[in-house]
Amino acid sequence: MATENKNLSNYDKNTIPNTNGLRFGIVVSEWNENVTGGMYKGAVDALLDNGVPQDAIVTWNVPGSFELVYGSKKMIETQNVDAVIAIGSVIQGETKHFDFVCEAVSQGIKDLNVLTDVPVIFCVLTDNTMQQAIDRSGGKHGNKGTEAAIVAIRMAHLRNSLL
């Protein structure tokens, strides 16, 4: 595994763009909440660590990962955010449900990035086991929520530099 024993959530604050005046949305799936809650905490902590005030972070919960696309779309339409982080966790089961949800969510988030002017950051774990998800939501492989927040800052900065 490429990330074995490597924490990818470490970042150099000196390389992160200024966050003054930026607003961020976070849409979080309630399904696999022990995983998505860890990623949510990582995302919020990274945003705060990089100067985003708490009142510039809008959080909405949705029932599952499939609903992240609709929640992200509505957040873009109503909350005047500079970027949205879509946080979810889908774990392989015995049926094809995993494939359908993963495909729909990844395509839906891609569509939002193509059709809207607000970047939507894909922070959806698609793991084979719960342990893999735990390892990536604050465990030995870091926190994908932290990584997504750094990406959101960079993409919001890019968006605003092009306006």
3-class secondary-structure state, position 161: helix
The answer to whether 79 and 23 have CB atoms below 8 angstroms apart is yes
pLDDT of residue 6: 53
pLDDT at 5: 54
Per-residue pLDDT of the chain (163 residues; tens, 9 = 90+): 344 555 557 888 888 999 999 999 999 999 999 999 999 999 999 999 999 999 999 999 999 999 999 999 999 999 999 999 999 999 998 888 888 999 999 999 999 999 999 999 999 999 999 999 999 988 888 899 999 999 999 999 999 988 7
To the nearest 10°, report the CA torsion of 105, 111, 113, 117: -130
Tokens found for residue 90: 């889908």
Domain 43-85+98-162: which CATH class? Answer: alpha beta
- The span from the first CA to the last CA of the chain, in angstroms, equals 40
Note the pLDDT of residue 1.
39
Strand 142-143 relative to strand 137-139, pairing: antiparallel
DSSP string over 37-101: HHHHHHHHHHHHHTT--GGGEEEEEESSGGGHHHHHHHHHHHS--SEEEEEEEEE--SSTHHHHH
**Count, residues in the chain:** 163
Q: Which residues are catalytic?
A: 97
